[in-house]
Amino acid sequence: MQPTTQTKPASSFRTDGVALDRAVHVSPGTGADLSLRSILAHCRSAFLGVALFSCIINLLMLTGPLFMMQIYDRVLTSGSIPTLIALLLLVTGLYIFYALFEVLRSRILIKAGEYLDQRLSPTVFQTILAQPLEGRSQERSSSLVRDMDTVRKFLSGTGPLAFFDMPWTPIFLAVIFVFHPVLGLIAAGGAAILLAIAIVSEFINRGLVDEASVLQARRSHMAGSSQKNAETARAMGMTGELERRWSEIASTYLQLNGRASNRTGVLSSVTKALRLFMQSAMLAAGAWLAILQEVSPGTIIAASIILSRALAPIELAVGNWRGFLAARQSSQRLKSLLKRPEHRATTALPAPCKTLRLSGVAVSPPASSAPTILGVDFTLNAGDALGILGPSGSGKSTLVRAMAGIWPTIRGDIRLDGAMLEHWDPDRLGPHIGYLPQSLDLFAGSIAQNIARLDPAASDGDIIEAAKLAGVHDLIVSLAEGYDTEIGEGGHILSVGQRQRIGLARALYGKPFLILLDEPNSNLDQAGEKALTKAIETMRSHGSIVVVVAHRPSAVEAVSHILMIDRGRQLVFDTKDRLNRTRETAAGLVTPVTAAAE
């Protein structure tokens, strides 16, 4: 499925309504290439703009030292008030420009972070949806959004500024060497020590940050899972054990997080203390050289200020090193999880309206090598209805998922009007398929929105028609807000039976050609079962193909064909009438067919 992308015009990078220069424009992407590397590459011009502003800002940072030199070496010796005023006005203007460029540089990084989030979000969301379909861990899925936020926050923060300012450290050191070689050596030694501390930060924190990130994902996943199963946990006395497990994970996470924070704090404090000491050492060395009349008093102050600026990027890097490690690890996880095959553009096929054909279909659940469906083969025509019968664990739900295109086949193919499911664009095929899963969850929103499959352009008439087909219209209008009733996350304000009937209305919305119902009567009362039978008959009369997985005979009253499977293998496929006439079919397994459903 092609993600929706947005092209960012040059004017999108603004600061208080002022468009930034074209040089800091974030180039639009191609739309198809949505890897993290490609998105950052599209921000190249923005990063060049930040580098340009960093150059100007670091040059302006020389304002203070040069001003000090002029005050000590010219103003104090000459006693000229006009010179002092002129220097003060000049410095005021330069610092105003300094503040402006600092704001612009920060805003560019913030906008670059927002751009990354906007471009990456559709792909991340699609990957989250695809994870359970591919049998991947939900912990990894839930960490995707957090990883994206981590990268965006680091990119929008002060951490990247250290890397843009770092190349100026040797230049500032060279300026100090120009003042005097001794001062230059002191500054270079201090910079080398701080750089060594930054390297140490990399090695001692990398593993801790990674472990803490994994535990954080586990804690978040456990919180969501426990909340979803709160009723079961409360009723069956499981809250104590869940709390113990939660506390165990949280305790380990806090220990690792605390150790990483302590190490970062210690290194940051040492770095700050060392920088302050180096400034004092620079003043002492400058004073000694001034006594020897090798430097001027203004040079002492200027060298100390320039040293502070030279060491500032290294100190900032050490302070943000943990954030840098977290962002780097998050970006690596994003790269590995977002390595998805590019969706191939498909020709829009006509709406299916004739046949459903399965040929030698074999299906295995994602992340499993053992097939649960082997060699299923049948054909249904428009207006047919199929009841799939078999013991629990025989593969009925697996087969329905394959027919819905949720799980791929490992052998054979499934075709609608002669075209394999893989040839259809999922978004174009979706409206022609109605699916009621065995485990039903509704989305947060109104009843009407759920029936309409969240389609903002859905007409009220189509929504009401689907509800009437499912026999749930009267139930809905009896609610205080009717179709506009907000059902909450997962539809928790409704009973299980009500959710199932609304799920059936959603499956029937738009009168799709292929309707797949997995145990649709498992939570229905007698009235609901009658409505289900009537809905199947109505959809058959409209030319739809209906497939029903059932354990109870009432669900297959309106079907025309029966498929019996056991241990994933097809035992019987025939019309229901013929099977009822031949009671001994399949070694007495169907005697009659309705008995097999029981």
pTM: 0.68
Same domain, 123 and 208: yes
263-273 burial string, b = 16+ CB within 10 Å, else e? bbeebbeebee
**334/377 same-domain check:** no
Predicted confidence band at 586 (pLDDT cuts at 50, 70, 90)? very low
Lowest mean per-residue pLDDT among 37-51, 213-227, 473-487: 213-227
Inside any domain, residue 377: yes
Query: Domain residues for 122?
Result: 36-338
Is residue 344, in this structure, part of any structural domain at all? no
pLDDT at 384 over 90: yes
Of 276, 310, 338, the residue that ends a domain is 338
Q: Are residues 525 and 562 located together in one domain of the fold? A: yes
Same domain flag for 266 and 219: yes
Mean pLDDT of the chain: 80
Which helix (H) or strand (E) element contains residue 18?
strand 18-19
- Alpha carbons 166 and 173: distance in angstroms, whole number: 12
**What pLDDT is recorded for position 64?**
85
For residue 438 the two structure tokens come to: 């065995």
User: CATH number of the domain that 189 lies in?
Assistant: 1.20.1560.10
> Regarding predicted confidence, which is higher, 211 or 517?
517
In a domain, 345, yes or no: no
Domain boundary among 283, 311, 338: 338
Q: How many structural domains does the chain have?
A: 2
Which DSSP category does 432 fall into? G
Residue 507: its pLDDT value, please? 92
Which pLDDT score is estimated for 512?
93
Same domain, 377 and 328: no
Is pLDDT of 15 > 70? no
User: pLDDT digit string (tens) for 193-223?
Assistant: 888 887 777 677 767 777 777 777 777 777 7
Q: Is there a domain that residue 14 lies in?
A: no
- Note whether 215 and 310 are same-domain residues: yes
- Alpha-carbon distance of 373 to 414, in angstroms, equals 13
Q: Quick one: pLDDT at residue 498?
A: 86
CA–CA dist 116, 29 (Å, integer)? 11
Of 108-122, 129-143, 172-186, 233-247, the one with minimum mean pLDDT is 129-143
Of 135-149, 172-186, 391-405, the poorest mean pLDDT is in 135-149
Among 308, 338, 368, give the residue marking a domain's end. Answer: 338
Is 350 a member of any domain? Answer: no
H helices, E strands: number in the chain:
23, 12
The reply to whether 290 and 372 lie within a common domain is no
The pair phi, psi for residue 545, each rounded to 5°, is -100, 125
Residue 16 has pLDDT above 50, yes or no: no
In percent, the amount of the chain with pLDDT more than 70 equals 85
Q: Which two tokens stand for residue 148?
A: 């994206």
In a domain, 19, yes or no: no
| Residues 285, 359 share a domain | no
Per DSSP, the residues of 167-214 read: THHHHHHHHHHHH-HHHHHHHHHHHHHHHHHHHHHHHHHHHHHHHHHH
| Predicted pLDDT of residue 31 | 38
The verdict on 117 and 147 lying in the same domain is yes
Q: Read out DSSP for 305-372?
A: HHHHHHHHHHHHHHHTHHHHHHHHHHHHHHHHHT--PPPPP---PPPP-SEEEEEEEEE--TT--S-S
Looking up residue 494, the CATH number of its domain turns out to be 3.40.50.300
In tens, the pLDDT along 253-297 reads: 788 877 877 877 787 788 888 888 888 888 899 889 988 888 888
Calculate mean pLDDT across residues 446-463: 91
Q: Are residues 326 and 390 in the same domain?
A: no
